[in-house]
Amino acid sequence: LQLEAEMRQALERNEFVLHYQPLVDARSGALLGCEALIRWQHPIRGLLSPFHFIPAAEQCGLISELGAWTIRSACQQIARWKEAGLQVGTVAVNVSALEFRHHRLLDTLTTAIAASGVRPGELEIELTESVLMTDIQTTQLIIERLHALGLPLSVDDFGTGYSSLSYLKHLRPAKLKIDRSFVKDLPGEEGDQVLVRAIVQLAHSLGIKVVAEGVETEAQQAFLRDIGCEILQGYLISRPQDAKGFEAFARRVS
């Protein structure tokens, strides 16, 4: 496989980069954290989105190495920001389905956390709802180990995974991230209004915080803030940016 060989080479040549998108307090605008998003700075094809290589990495078995790169890089970045005295809150990394079930994940996390001195609550794991719904028993064991490492869980793309909702009770995520498909037509679309309000109520009654993803307009921001959604993420606040760009944002809002 051509792409596999290219990705291996890219890992060796250090062509992957993390971009960071802020998560802010819906009321005050204060910075609460960021989501780390991988890109491939390809020598010929330019900056590639994860859609162009994550699925291939999952297929060819390279995902756990790529995931390990992401985790190590995020931990190193957290350490650099702390050293520089920059407060960025919690850094979230995306972990895909196969990576989550891979036996190396916990080792990778343990080693990266120890090497970088990352403290509990500084790093968080984002998993999609569909990952959490598969093989609930094993999932629960892995989540318990993540909690023991001081890693909170954030449920990505919430509302798209045909959830039974009972998993929320067992897995105790810190955050639910409302998928941007439910945010896109707010505040006009009545069906989405009802859904988003219900998600916020459900989450709060379980002691879980709510992040709205894909916030692009001030009207969406106002609606979400008014119904008690406490965290916002989206182009309105900032696009994902490289570390330098994100640092400039962090200094501006603090």
Footprint on this chain of ligand G (rule: CB under 6 A): 21, 37-38, 49-51, 54, 70, 94-96, 99, 156-157, 180, 213-216, 234-235, 240
Footprint (CB under 5 A) of Mn ion, residues 84-103: 94
Please say whether the beta carbons of 222 and 229 come within 8 A. Answer: no
Residues 209-238 that bind Na ion (CB under 5 A): 213
For residues 186 and 220, the answer to whether their CB atoms sit within 8 Å is yes
Nearer to Mn ion, 157 or 247 (CB): 157
Among 156, 192, 230, 247, binds Mn ion (CB under 5 A): 156
124 binds Na ion (CB under 5 A): no
Residues 17-56, mask of contacts with Mn ion (x by CB under 5 A): ----------------------------------------
* 216 contact choice in Mn ion, ligand G, Na ion, none (CB below 5 to 8 Å, kind-dependent): ligand G
Distances (CA, A) of 196 to 136, 158, 190: 25, 10, 10
Handedness of CA 6, 9, 13, 15 (dihedral sign): positive
The token pair that represents 50 in the structure block = 């994860």
Should residue 213 be labelled a site residue for Mn ion when binding is judged by CB under 5 A?
A: no
Residue with tokens 């802020």: 22
Question: Which candidate, 240, 225, 254, places its Cα nearest to that of 34?
Answer: 240
- The smaller minimum CB distance to Na ion, of residues 124 and 156, is found at 156
Of residues 166 and 219, the one with the C-beta less far from ligand G: 219
Nearest approach, Cβ of residue 105 and ligand G (Å) = 11
- Please give the structure tokens belonging to residue 179: 């998928």
* Residue window 147-166: x/- pattern of binding to Na ion, with contact defined by CB under 5 A: ---------xx---------
CB 232 within 8 A of CB 24: yes
Helix (H, G, I), strand (E, B) or coil at 206: coil
CA-to-CA dists, residue 69 to 6, 65, 136, 170, 173, angstroms: 16, 6, 27, 30, 24
* CB neighbourhood size of 127 (10 A): 24
Given the complex with ligand G, which of 63 and 205 has the nearer CB atom?
63
- Which chain residues interact with Na ion by CB under 5 A? 156-157, 213
- Which chain residues interact with Mn ion by CB under 5 A? 94, 126, 156
